[in-house]
Structure 1
Amino acid sequence: MITIRQAPTLGSAHSDTLILRCHFAFADYQDPAHIHDGRLRVLNLGMLKPEQAYHLGPEANVDILTWLSAGSLVSHADGFEQEEVGQGGLHLLSTGTGCKRLEWSAGPEGATFIQFWFMADVEGVAPTQEVRASFPQLEDGGFRILASGFPEDDPEEDDPEEDGQITDGAPVTLTARARLLHAVIPAAEGAAYSTTLGRDLYLLVVSGIVTIDGYVLHCGDAAAITGQQDIVVIAQEKAELLLVDVASR
């Protein structure tokens, strides 16, 4: 089953200094029809003005992924070094046993970001942080794994000679059994993805226009896909997509 969420129907939440566009209930945006999608608890879109900051906390037992679509961000979290993220980069904070304060501040050009919260499958672990400055695009325009809680998705697991070095493009490591994927699809071409039983997929169109199973999705639209293991997305014009694969419960 596919349920379409069009961009104009998203909720608005007032959080700290921002007004966030929300796919699911968050802060003062309460919507019984959109609480979460499987183990995906939050999908928020935010825009920071130059030098503006966004604060959260305290938070525990969630993986917070922040993907930057434009500008630059510097992350600040208690107990961790500051990390800078540029356009196309990804910041992960697995809050584990708890983080009292989290902050992302925009660079001089501002920042536009998309943030995902995954419910952790393992509780009681120490908080961790990971950053990827960018991810190389796939030549075939298919889906690339940006973040994963599945060890088999990490090429470092199969290359002991790397001696701890991060392989270019290796996904960040989630505590949730989930994946975040990214694709840039040329016009008139497609990208396919397959999952397993008991999983939910949530597809977000970052830019462009695509079709999936006869549905047309424009920039900002999303599709919640349940009970379906295989999808094919066709770009009507060049499109950028983010895809979430999570446990249904």
Structure 2
Amino acid sequence: MITVRRQTSLGLVQDQDITLRCHFPFRTYTDPAHGACGRLRVLNIGVLSANAAYRAGPESSIDILTWLWQGTLSTSAAGFPDDRLEAGGLQAVSTGEGVSCLAWRAGPDGATFLQFWFLPDDESGEPSQEVRPAFPALEDGGFRILASGFPEDDPEEWRDIADGAPVTIRARSRLMDARVPAGEGARYDTTTGRALYLVVVSGRVTLGPDTLAAGDAATVMNQTGITVMAAEDAVVLLADTAASESAL
């Protein structure tokens, strides 16, 4: 089953110096019709003006992944060194028993980012952070794992860590990206009991009978794989997580 979410239907939260377009309920935005996608509880598109900051916290028992689409972003999480993201970079914070404050500050050209909040399998333990300031240029056509809670995706298990290795999270979930040229496709296969959430960052794609433009998204349930076809050059993000809160 595929359920399409159009960009025009997303929630809106204006908080401090940031504009958030929300796929699921967040802060002042409520929407019983779009509660979550399995253990993916929050997905926000954040837009910061030049040198503006966005703050959150305290937060616990959640994995927060921040993927930068445009601009530059300085990251700060209490107890960890500050870092900096370039376009395509990723910060992952597993809050564990608690992180008192998290902050993201845009550079002089502003910043646009997507932020995913996953329920972790293990809610306890010390907080952790892992950052990839930028990933290597993405090869056309296939899904690449950016973050994962699956041991088999850990490069330490089978090869030396490289700059493009996925970050490790506590949620048994994956976050992936793909750059698909016009007229070509990208395939992803998963297992039963999973929920997939696809976001079109740029371009236009087809998913089954539906066409999705930049900013649109789709929930895919009760399927063990999807094929995304690009109607024009496209960049997409894909989350794979347990379909229900109790399914670990």
Q: Which TM-score applies when normalising by structure 2? A: 0.96
Please list the CA deviations of residues 209-247 of structure 1 after superposition, one character each: whole Å capped at 9, or x if unmatched. Answer: 100111100000001000001111000000000000000
Match of 2:166 among 164, 168, 171: 171
Please list the CA deviations of residues 152-189 of structure 1 after superposition, one character each: whole Å capped at 9, or x if unmatched. Answer: 11222112xx4xxx412110001000000000000000
Cα pair 1:137 1:184 within 8 Å, conserved:
no
Q: Which TM-score applies when normalising by structure 1? A: 0.95
Cα pair 1:14 1:27 within 8 Å, conserved:
no
Corresponding residue of 1:213: 208
The letter for the 1-side match of 2:210 is: Y
**Within 1, Cα distance between the matches of 2:120 and 2:226?**
26
Task: Work out the number of aligned pairs and report it.
Answer: 244
Cα pair 2:140 2:178 within 8 Å, conserved:
no
The letter for the 2-side match of 1:86 is: E
Gaps of 5+ in 2: none
The letter for the 2-side match of 1:88 is: G
Corresponding residue of 2:229: 234
The letter for the 2-side match of 1:204 is: V
**Within 1, Cα distance between the matches of 2:63 and 2:123?**
11
Say whether 1:186 aligns with 2:181. Answer: yes
Corresponding residue of 1:127: 127
Cα pair 1:15 1:27 within 8 Å, conserved:
no
Gaps of 5+ in 1: none
Cα pair 2:140 2:181 within 8 Å, conserved:
no
* Partner SS for 1:203: strand
**Within 2, Cα distance between the matches of 1:125 and 1:167?**
27
Say whether 1:149 aligns with 2:149. Answer: yes
Give the superposition deviation at 1:137: 4.0
**Within 1, Cα distance between the matches of 2:137 and 2:32?**
37
Corresponding residue of 2:23: 23
**Within 2, Cα distance between the matches of 1:16 and 1:52?**
9
Corresponding residue of 2:49: 49
* Partner SS for 1:72: strand
Match of 1:201 among 196, 200, 204: 196
1:143–1:97 Cα change, 3 Å: same
* Partner SS for 1:209: strand
Corresponding residue of 1:9: 9
The letter for the 1-side match of 2:166 is: P
Among all aligned residue pairs of Structure 1 and Structure 2, give the percentage whose two residues are the same amino acid.
56
Over 6 Å off, 4+ runs: none
> RMSD of aligned C-alpha atoms?
1.0
